[in-house]
Amino acid sequence: MAVLGHQLQTYATTAGAREDILDLITQVDPEETPLLSRLGVSKASGRYHEWLNDTLESGTGTGAAALEGAAAAGRRLSARSRSGNVSQITTYTFGISGTQEAIAQYGLDSEYSYQLEKAMKILKIMQEQILLNSTYAFDVPDSYQCATAARSLRGIFAAITTNVKTGSGGSCALTETMFNDLLQTIFENGNGTPDICFANGYQKRRISSFSSNNVRYINMQNEKTLRNTIVSYESDFGTISTVLDRWLPKGDMPVLSMNDWNIAYLRKPFVQQLGVAGDAKEAQIITEYTLEHLNESNSGKATGLATA
């Protein structure tokens, strides 16, 4: 009998067991997935998740003086708008043989438990990449009412459309002026305050090399050794923490108001045991979720930056 090529081969646990592992996944290397680890968590109730946005009108004090004894002036408040995003299913499957689970292992009590921990880490990294870079796609059923393509959520970069600074690719290195121009654009177009910037290795070094006195280095763990060091940039538009994220596109960088971004789970991550195939068994981690972007105009992005 043929063996599926993606099996690692170790014996699994009780058949049919479903395990809620969201808490376990959130404990796996949080700094490997800095965006996912910082998002708020909410609940979705359908495959298309919706929310309402509201804004304050652009009022003006010019000519706003009222006559004594004047009748009340009518004013119409702005209506709320509806936004939404689709839920995306993300899975990771692994398998082990009965022999692999039974034999003695150096440093391991259970091969299955070890591979499950690895699978959770891989799934978490997959979610980080999806939440950053995914583009929106809604499944359209065929004549048999079956999906012909997978749903794909709208990620951070696709969701941010109001405040965008675009460079010219390889010749446009990130500068302090460009960074502040983006912050000013967010300030003028939004009604919130961005507080965090996610940057890959090269863009993080560019920010750390800004020549002004606005850059501060903070040891987040209060130890003698500088671990998880975050650059805090004190701008005219608020203090921005800069966090390293290896999964970002090399030439792109988001600046976010984190209160406006959540991950909404339709199905929290769980382990599904698959059918026994002889002396082997497979397990699949499954989750379904989407990204809430409550007010994208409070955030911004820089794209087309030099990468070296």
Per-residue pLDDT reduced to its tens digit, 81-97? 788 999 999 999 999 88
pLDDT score of 266 more than 80: yes
Structure tokens at 251: 């030439």
d(CA 259, CA 298): 10
Residue 290's pLDDT is what?
98
With CA atoms as reference, report the closest residue to 6 among 107, 91, 72.
Answer: 91
Considering only residues 20 and 247, tell me which one the structure prediction assigns the higher pLDDT: 247
What does the angle CA 224 – CA 227 – CA 231 come to, to the nearest 5 degrees?
105
Tell me which residue has tokens 């105009």.
297
Residue 10's pLDDT is what?
37
Tell me the pLDDT band of 29, cut-offs 50, 70 and 90. Answer: low
Whether 234 is covered by a domain: the verdict is yes
Whether 115 is covered by a domain: the verdict is yes
Write the CB contacts of 49 (distance below 8 Å, at least 6 apart in sequence). Answer: 84, 85, 86, 87, 264, 266, 290, 292
d(CA 198, CA 256): 8
pTM for this predicted structure: 0.80
Residue 1's pLDDT is what?
45
pLDDT digits (tens, 9 = 90+) for 195-231: 999 999 999 999 988 876 666 655 555 554 444 455 7
Tell me the pLDDT band of 5, cut-offs 50, 70 and 90. Answer: low
Number of domains in the chain: 1
Is the separation of the CB atoms in 188 and 182 below 8 Å? no
Whether 205 is covered by a domain: the verdict is yes
pLDDT score of 14 more than 90: no
pLDDT score of 106 more than 90: no
Helix (H) or strand (E) holding 210: none
Whether 74 is covered by a domain: the verdict is no
Write the CB contacts of 33 (distance below 8 Å, at least 6 apart in sequence). Answer: 124, 125, 127, 128, 247
Whether 200 is covered by a domain: the verdict is yes
Q: What are phi and psi of 278, to 5 degrees?
A: 70, -135
Averaged over 103-117, what is the pLDDT? 80
pLDDT digits (tens, 9 = 90+) for 128-185: 999 999 999 987 665 555 667 889 999 999 999 999 999 876 679 999 999 999 999 9
Helix (H) or strand (E) holding 237: none
Whether 142 is covered by a domain: the verdict is yes
CATH number at residue 173: 3.90.1690
d(CA 307, CA 175): 13
Residue 45's pLDDT is what?
95
Percent of the chain whose pLDDT exceeds 70 = 75
pLDDT digits (tens, 9 = 90+) for 56-78: 666 666 667 777 878 777 666 67
Residue 56's pLDDT is what?
66
Instruction: Write out the residue range of the structural domain in which residue 200 sits.
Output: 18-53+82-303
Residue 12's pLDDT is what?
43
Q: What is the 3-state secondary structure (H, E, C) of 180-198?
A: HHHHHHHHHHCCCCCCEEE
Whether 8 is covered by a domain: the verdict is no
- Classify strands 164-166 and 48-53 as parallel, antiparallel or unpaired: unpaired
Averaged over 242-251, what is the pLDDT? 94
